[in-house]
Structures are given as C-alpha cells and as structure tokens.
Amino acid sequence: MPREDVQALEKQPGAVAAAKLPFNAALLDDLMDEAGLDVLLVSSKHNLQYLLGGYKFFFFEHFDAIGISRYLPLLIYRRGRTEDAVYIGNPMENYERELGKFWVPSLEMQSGGSVDTIERAVRHLSRLGIKKGKIGAELAFLPGDAYAALKSGLPGCEIVEAHFPLERLRARKTPAELELLREASNRVVDSMLAVMGSHGPGTTKIELVEALRREETQRGLTFEYCLITTGTSRNRAASAQTWDRGQILSLDSGGNYKGYIGDLCRMAILGQPDAELVELLAEVDAIQQAARKPIRHGARGGDIFAAVEEPLRRSPNNNNIEFVAHGMGLISHEAPRLTSRGPVAYPAHDAELPLQSGMVLSIETTIGHPRRGFIKLEDTVAVTEDGWEGFGDYGRGWNQGNLS
C-alpha cells in the first residue's frame, strides 16, 4: 500500500488495523451480524491460526495441559471494531510479541490458565462497556471451568455457539491457502509412494506406519495419522500383521502442512494385481470420477452425491461400498457440509447451496470386499470457476511394493 494511503488511513480509528488483517473482516462482520453476535471469543487453535494469519505458539503446538490447568489462548473480536480486539495468551508468547507476530491492538500475555484467561476477557469486555448482548464462543473448545467463569462474569450476556460464522469465514480458501493444501496433498502422496515402493514381504503394519511417519516428517509435514490395511483384513489399526507377497495394502494418511491437512488414500500390491483387483479399483475410480463431473463454481453441492447414484446402483458391490464427500482445510470435515449421512454427523447445510470457487473437498470411495479386502481411493479436489483441480492427483492405480 502506498505510504500516502497509509497516512490517510491512520486518521481513521481502527482502519489501519483492518487494512492489515489476515482475514476478510467485512465478511466476518456480516456473518456476525447475520448471527446477531456482538462479540466473538475465539479459542480453538485452528480458528486462532486463521484469524492471526497463520500464527501458532510453538510451545503448545502438541499439548495444552500445564500445571493444574491448561493453555487457553483467546482472541476477542468485536463486530465492526477491530481496534477493540485483544489476544490473551501465555507469558512465553511475549517472545513472539517481540518478533511482531500479532496484528491485534491489545495483547495480554499473562494468562495463568483457563479461568484466568476468561477473567481477563471479562475485564476487557467490561472496560469496553459490554454488559449485555450476544457473545459467540466456541463451546466445543471452551473448558467447563472457563464456561462457568464466563457465565458468572457476564450475567447480562447471552453466550451462544459461534461455530457457524467462523466456519463460513474459512469456507472459501485464498490462493495462498490453496497452495498450502496442494503442497500438503502432494507431500502426503509422495510419502505414501515412497513407503510402498521401498517395503516388501514380511513388513509389519507398525513398521509401515512408522516409515510413513518418517517420510512425511522429512517432507516438512506434521504426521497426524495413518489408517492401514493389508491383505484381506479390513482392520485399519497398526499391528504386527504383515504385508506379504500377493497381498494388497491401503494407506490412508493425514499430514499437516503449516496447519493445512493433506488427507488421501492410495493402494499398493506386492506383485501384480489379478483381473478382479484391477476391476475393483477401476470401479472405485469410476465412482470418484463421477463425483467430480458436476463440480464447478455455482453447482449445487448435493449434485456430487446425485452424480454417483447411478454408478453405485449398477455396482455388483453396492452392498459393500461407502461413498462420502466433505469439505476440508484447516480441519477435516469443514464447510462445505454436503451430507448428514456421512461418518461424521452434522447438518447438510450446503447440500442445496451453490459451491464456490476456492472451496476444497475430500472425495472418498471404499469397497470393503469380503474376499479381497479394503480397497479405497481418497482424493482432494478444489472447486474452480469452471470445474475442479485435483491436489496430489497421482499414484491412484495399483502401486508396486518392493519384491527385490
């Protein structure tokens, strides 16, 4: 921004902060207005990361418990007044403060735990004269003692769930977010192909998962999980079961890249697949491709499920097939929410609404075959103006294990 524009903005209270925000403040204000929210209390790590422009405090990245309480960071955002925002964090976050990591005008890095965080939040809101109104909180990410302190400290306010406006704010990814998701997906697939191609008969599922952990870590990912099957088993936990000659392998892994999730599934075999296995994976792929056909900006969300109805009906394995499509980004199963009948229960808010460019979907089809085992593809697809783009969209056939 030209310096003269900055100087003009500096004459408007709060405008400079709004110009530098890492999120769309106007959209958030509109979403809060639609929900009737006066204030947001943001406490989940993923939404804090989003609103703080990618910030996560390194010390508590993998745990929350400390002493007799827990780390409970909190961002207070008042609708239409970015100058009133405050971030409440741990004293050690002053290190990050010194590095200029925060856009937030007011910082309190003295929180001694969950209740102390809320007591500081109540004092801040009282200083702003907020004694009544509707406050949105992330109730699933607010401990019981913190919620009780919030209710006690603000008896004139209504505390309501803030999940919906925060989720909608993140639904349409920016080009920078799409690049992170593309990298996450590519690196997960590269890691899986490396493991498949370098392991052979007698390797245990535990060893395969640990190898995948190393591969993902070496590629700059934070390994989150691996669901794994070998042979005819449909048990997806790591165990001493081995991958043996002629057997199939499925790796379904989530790897996190700078907060964004790569979540895909690929198949391998030790040897050559027979005609039936080729046909089964082709059937899975056909359903996956059918689901992609309607995807574009403006298409009805539920059309993805409508597009697979016919191939599912025709399939000789339809009693053993599971299909689901869901949104993803900072978390798995976020907006767009396309079905209420998937493995994770939530309202199908987007089934009758248009898809928007920048939304990102996970599409997954599984055959749990009673004789041949667990056969699955899971793909990541971004909605574009005129169609879709697949991330990590390779290695989707029968990959070869190492028989040498």
Average pLDDT over residues 14-24: 69
At 182 the pLDDT is 98
What is the rounded CA–CA span in Å between residue 27 and residue 169? 7
Residue 11 has pLDDT above 50, yes or no: no
Contact indicator for 225, 217 with CB cutoff of 8 Å:
no
Residue 4 has pLDDT above 70, yes or no: no
Predicted confidence band at 180 (pLDDT cuts at 50, 70, 90)?
very high
Between CA 34 and CA 43, with CA 39 as vertex, the angle to 5 degrees is 110
At 19 the pLDDT is 58
Cis peptide before 343 (omega within 30 of 0): no
Answer whether CATH 3.40.350.10 is correct for domain 3-170.
yes
pTM: 0.93
What is the rounded CA–CA span in Å between residue 171 and residue 159? 24
Interval 319-363: pLDDT, tens: 999 999 999 999 999 999 999 999 999 999 999 999 999 999 999
Average pLDDT over residues 255-283: 98
DSSP string, 238-295: --SPEE-TT-EEEEEEEEEETTEEEEEEEEEESS---HHHHHHHHHHHHHHHHHHTT-
Please list the alpha-helical segments (H only) found in 52-104. 94-98
Predicted confidence band at 10 (pLDDT cuts at 50, 70, 90)?
very low
What is the rounded CA–CA span in Å between residue 76 and residue 121? 7
At 18 the pLDDT is 55
Structure-token match 């004092």, residue found: 123
Report phi then psi at 373, rounded to 5: 105, -160
CATH classification for the domain delimited by 175-400, as one of 3.90.230.10, 2.40.50.140, 3.40.50.300, 3.90.180.10: 3.90.230.10
Average pLDDT over residues 294-318: 97
Beta strand pairing call for 39-42 and 133-137: parallel
Contact indicator for 308, 315 with CB cutoff of 8 Å:
no
Residue 15 has pLDDT above 90, yes or no: no
Q: Where are the domains of the chain?
A: 3-170, 175-400
What is the rounded CA–CA span in Å between residue 375 and residue 232? 10
**Identity (one letter) of the amino acid at 295?**
I
